[in-house]
Chain A
Amino acid sequence: MPEKPLTQHIPADRQALDLRAYESVGGYEGFRKALGGMTPQAMQQVVKDSGLRGRGGAGFPTGMKWSFTPMGADAPHPKYVVANADEMEPGTFKDRLLMEGNPHQLIEGLALAGFAIEADVAFIFIRGEYTLAQERLTRALAEAYEAGFLGKDILKSGYSLEMRLHVSGGRYMCGEETGLLNALEGKRANPRAKPPFPQVSGLWGKPTIVNNVETLSNIPHIVAKGAEWFKGLSHSPDAGTKLYGASGKVKRPGIWELPMSTTIRELLEEHAGGMRDGVRFRGLLPGGASTDFLVEEHLDTPMDFTSVQNAGSRLGTGTMIVLDDQTCPVGMTSNLTAFFAQESCGWCTPCWSGLGWAKQILAAMEEGHGKEGDLDKLSFQSKFWSPGHTFCALAPGAAEPLQSALKFFREDFERHIREQRCPWRA
């Protein structure tokens, strides 16, 4: 059986591990080890050596991200670490499991990240709708404070860290790193220009690290068991395990922790149990709403950062959304584009204007009012959503499903226009 460090102790009913249960399976050992004798630099090094890449979607190497933080006596304080627990990427439901089932694992990972950059304050930025995870994290934070894992002079190491749960007002943009910082400061979650990067000038202008929940949940295990162990969990040079998921009309939708680079076919056929009776596979978004469609010919692609990119998409969050032959690909694209248009913060013109236009074209097409030239308009508009035209990745993310749908399902789009109706609607 392959190891499942992140989820093996989460019971089937997802009852959260309390502090005692967490410690009985090795919890806070990594934290004790780090505070008992490691330097923050050594902490950063082990995470660099492990090859851990961010699990929130972008896949940036975590240790490298940390290493840009100013360190030492001259560094500005307070420094901040933030857990991005704003899981709002449509089709993504992995961080919910980690927080509901093992809240201490996240707290320990965030505290370790704090130690690695000599942070003073930590926030868990969680979406408002995750009420159960909020409850469990609140309880776990109280336990961690009481046991002396948080607060002043932790475990008599001289290191102090305050940690606080911050519940979001709710908006997709809050998951964007710099949007999240603005939200924490009590502002609209518009993105910020980079540089300066948050590691140098983040929350209230101070050095700040933002990491995804799954990323942080890996840290305690890497510190306790080492970089080589972590690399050995994977089928490829992209290290570690990955929480994969599938939703849509598969037999068993769900989340599975598996070696990084498990193939799409294995996920779909073995873990998700294949397609439901009566429907056939047509395509999928491999890692949430903002990734390019992949189709039949890509099924043997290993789900890791490099392989999925080579196949023409992105690993994203690793949670797949499956399109079947009874579901209209134009309708699905219309739904996705409407989401991005609604969630655009309005900061950059190609995003707020172009997405709104594309949304209207697609909705009209679904209603039977498609026009000659619509597909060219969609291609033209979506060109301006590419990186470099906007402050953040929302518009580039919106372009991915639309452009790939136009490529793989072009005949379906053309049929909508030709027949002046959606063939999937009665």
Chain B
Amino acid sequence: MLTAEERQEIKAELEHYPTKQAVCIDAMKIVQRHRGWVSDESIRDIGELLGMSVADLDGVATFYNLIHRKPVGRHVVMVCNSVSCWIMGYETIRQHLTSRLGIDFGETTPDGRFTLLPIVCLGACDRAPAMMIDDQFYGDLDPAKIDQLLEEFK
């Protein structure tokens, strides 16, 4: 069931577009903002609200990088693996993160604190290597800086 708040936020988006389907990505992001991810149940509920089939909506959901169709930890670490970061030491950053967190890409730490994901170029190549933790960008990374950053996210 979508909460009253989620429904209200999705309906507010509808005013700005000529079709219901146009807001489906926003709708999934709204649910994700409240729940961390988009479950099968949420796909069904959003589909009902917007008049889209589960297949159609899931086709959209799985197309986009920033829609999580599996549960994630309290914080999502997205590491840029594109070319400029690769030149500037992405491999070292990736190895440090996976060994430090004890998980690989697509996994969540057992304490539910971090999910580790790769991401394409973050558009800050003058500060490579780079990553995001939740909505925050961090550049000029090295292992020491990563250790310090991870401490800030409980």
Question: With A127-B123, A129-B123, A131-B135 in contact, do A171 and B65 touch (Cβ < 8 Å)?
Answer: yes
Please, how many angstroms separate the alpha-carbon atoms of A187 and B56 in the complex? 8
Contact of B125 (CB < 8 Å), options: A130, A253, A331: A253
- What residues of A have a CB within 8 angstroms of the CB of B21 in the complex? 185-187
Please, how many angstroms separate the alpha-carbon atoms of A131 and B28 in the complex? 18
- What residues of B have a CB within 8 angstroms of the CB of A132 in the complex? 137
List the A residue with the shortest CB-CB distance to B20.
A186
Interface positions of A from 89 to 107, Cβ below 8 Å from B: 89-93, 95-96
Contact A169 B126 (CB under 8 A): no
Question: With A169-B67, A187-B21, A248-B88 in contact, do A129 and B132 touch (Cβ < 8 Å)?
Answer: yes
Please, how many angstroms separate the alpha-carbon atoms of A289 and B121 in the complex? 10
- What residues of A have a CB within 8 angstroms of the CB of B125 in the complex? 90-93, 245, 247, 253, 319, 321
Contact B63 A171 (CB under 8 A): yes
Indicate if B149 sits at the interface (CB-CB under 8 A). Answer: no
What does DSSP make chain B's interface, helix, strand, loop or mixed?
mixed
List the A residue with the shortest CB-CB distance to B83.
A90
Interface size, chain A (Cβ < 8 Å): 55
Contact A131 B87 (CB under 8 A): no
- What residues of B have a CB within 8 angstroms of the CB of A168 in the complex? 25, 64, 66
Please, how many angstroms separate the alpha-carbon atoms of A343 and B82 in the complex? 12
- What residues of B have a CB within 8 angstroms of the CB of A324 in the complex? 87
Contact B82 A339 (CB under 8 A): yes
Residue-wise, chain B 80-120 has the 8 Å CB interface mask toward A (1 for contact) of 01111011100000000000000000000000000000011
Which of A130, A184, A188, A247 has the most chain B CB atoms inside 10 A of its CB? A247
Question: With A164-B16, A247-B126 in contact, do A186 and B121 touch (Cβ < 8 Å)?
Answer: no
Please, how many angstroms separate the alpha-carbon atoms of A88 and B137 in the complex? 15
Interface positions of B from 45 to 77, Cβ below 8 Å from A: 59-60, 63-67
Please, how many angstroms separate the alpha-carbon atoms of A249 and B86 in the complex? 11
Interface positions of A from 229 to 283, Cβ below 8 Å from B: 245-249, 253-255
Measured CB to CB, the closest approach of chain B to A28, in angstroms, equals: 24
Contact of A90 (CB < 8 Å), options: B25, B64, B121: B121
- What residues of B have a CB within 8 angstroms of the CB of A343 in the complex? 120
Contact of A289 (CB < 8 Å), options: B23, B83, B122, B137: B83
List the B residue with the shortest CB-CB distance to A189.
B63
Contact B60 A186 (CB under 8 A): yes
- What residues of A have a CB within 8 angstroms of the CB of B28 in the complex? 169
Measured CB to CB, the closest approach of chain B to A269, in angstroms, equals: 17
Contact B132 A90 (CB under 8 A): no
Contact B137 A335 (CB under 8 A): no
Indicate if B22 sits at the interface (CB-CB under 8 A). Answer: yes
- What residues of B have a CB within 8 angstroms of the CB of A253 in the complex? 125-128
Indicate if A226 sits at the interface (CB-CB under 8 A). Answer: no
List the A residue with the shortest CB-CB distance to B124.
A93
- What residues of A have a CB within 8 angstroms of the CB of B23 in the complex? 186
Indicate if B136 sits at the interface (CB-CB under 8 A). Answer: yes
Contact B136 A131 (CB under 8 A): yes
Contact A335 B19 (CB under 8 A): no
Contact A327 B87 (CB under 8 A): yes
Contact of B121 (CB < 8 Å), options: A88, A188, A249, A345: A88
Indicate if B43 sits at the interface (CB-CB under 8 A). Answer: no
Contact B87 A171 (CB under 8 A): no
Indicate if A10 sits at the interface (CB-CB under 8 A). Answer: no
Contact of B66 (CB < 8 Å), options: A169, A247, A339, A345: A169
| 7 A–B pairs (Cβ distance < 8 Å), ordered by A | A88-B120, A92-B125, A95-B123, A168-B66, A171-B64, A186-B19, A248-B84
Spell out A's residues near B (CB within 8 Å): 87-93, 95-96, 127-132, 162, 164, 167-172, 183-189, 204, 245-249, 253-255, 285, 289, 319, 321-324, 327, 331-332, 335-336, 339, 342-343, 345
10 tightest A-B contacts by CB? A169-B64, A247-B125, A170-B65, A170-B66, A90-B121, A253-B126, A90-B82, A247-B84, A186-B21, A186-B24
Spell out B's residues near A (CB within 8 Å): 16, 18-19, 21-26, 28-29, 59-60, 63-67, 78, 81-84, 86-88, 119-128, 132, 135-137
